[in-house]
Amino acid sequence: MHPTRSRSFKSSLRPAMGLFAAAAMLSACVGSGSAASGPAGSSSSAAPASSAAGTASTGSGVFYLRAWQTQALAPQETFAWLAPVTISDGQFIDGNIAVPAIYPGPIYVGPQSRPLSDAGVAAIVAEARKDGLLGDKTDFATDSAPGSVLAHIELRIDGLTHELTGPLPAGPVSDGVAPGTTPAYQLFWSKITSINGWLGADLGQGTSFTPTSLGVLVTPPTDATAGIAANEKPWPLAASFATFGKAYGGSVYRCAMITGADAATLLAVVTASNQLTHFVDATGAKASLQVRAMLPGESDPCL
């Protein structure tokens, strides 16, 4: 049996798919979020008056939460970062993925999904309110060092959306912190990114999350290493690599978000492929891929 590694923030600091990757488990179940996952640092309201006054419903159907990370790195370095926590339609999607620590590793490993009860949702809302995160303050990162990792949270309750940002916790955070402060933000982040332990009794059985869309990054063919030869597979989509998606991050990479039947077709192929798989399009061009699940509420990763 091979050991496993987490596709977490720390592992993503190393060059992404296609390089000989080793990874580390990130403590407190903090995973990676996509750098293109979405904006942070603002608050908008389209809520009824009762929500704006803080009397928000906690039913799972009107609650959404996403927590992700960003850092000032080349976009291809952060493309595969998944949000460690997404809660949508009563489902907790765990983006802290365990990936086999082997080479060549898989191109795609999907997140897990677990149902979260209304009592669990209510506990999250109560914690956010206790920590002073449902008011006007949204930026808790004013003293963060330039270039440091930022932790983002989008929290939607009955139409009232809070888009928050702050620094990652450097270690355990006490429950006794003052509301509306950076430590209170870090306490909330620590709890939601350890939700399996915090709210385990409110979570149901886990199942594989099947995405309806995929983020796909087409890269130059990965070089074979350590005496392991590359393997080739036909590219299953119609577009050639030269016309696929759009240029990405000022590099030779091409990027697109794939949906519908094409997403299902590609997912079936990439789950049976690895980092040394070279895909060959109809013109004979070869390429390697990075592929990530698109989670509910995420924006186009290619923008």
* Whether pLDDT at 46 is above 80: no
C-alpha distances (whole Å) from 143 to each of 9, 119, 147, 148, 176 are: 21, 35, 12, 11, 21
* Whether pLDDT at 146 is above 90: no
* Whether pLDDT at 66 is above 60: yes
* Whether pLDDT at 272 is above 80: yes
Lowest mean pLDDT among 34-48, 79-93, 240-254: 34-48
What average pLDDT does the chain have? 83
Q: Higher pLDDT residue, 56 or 189?
A: 189
Lowest mean pLDDT among 30-34, 51-55, 167-171: 51-55
* Whether pLDDT at 224 is above 50: yes
Over residues 289-298, the mean pLDDT reads: 96
Classify residue 279 by burial, with Cβ atoms within 10 Å: 0-12, 13-18, 19+.
buried
* Whether pLDDT at 284 is above 80: yes
Helix, strand, coil in percent for the chain, rounding step 5:
20, 25, 50
105-141 pLDDT, tens digit each: 999 999 999 999 999 999 999 999 999 999 999 999 9
* Whether pLDDT at 147 is above 90: no
Lowest mean pLDDT among 31-40, 135-144, 167-176, 177-186: 31-40
For the chain, the domains span 4-207, 211-293
Closest listed residue to residue 195, CA positions, set 39, 31, 41, 78: 31
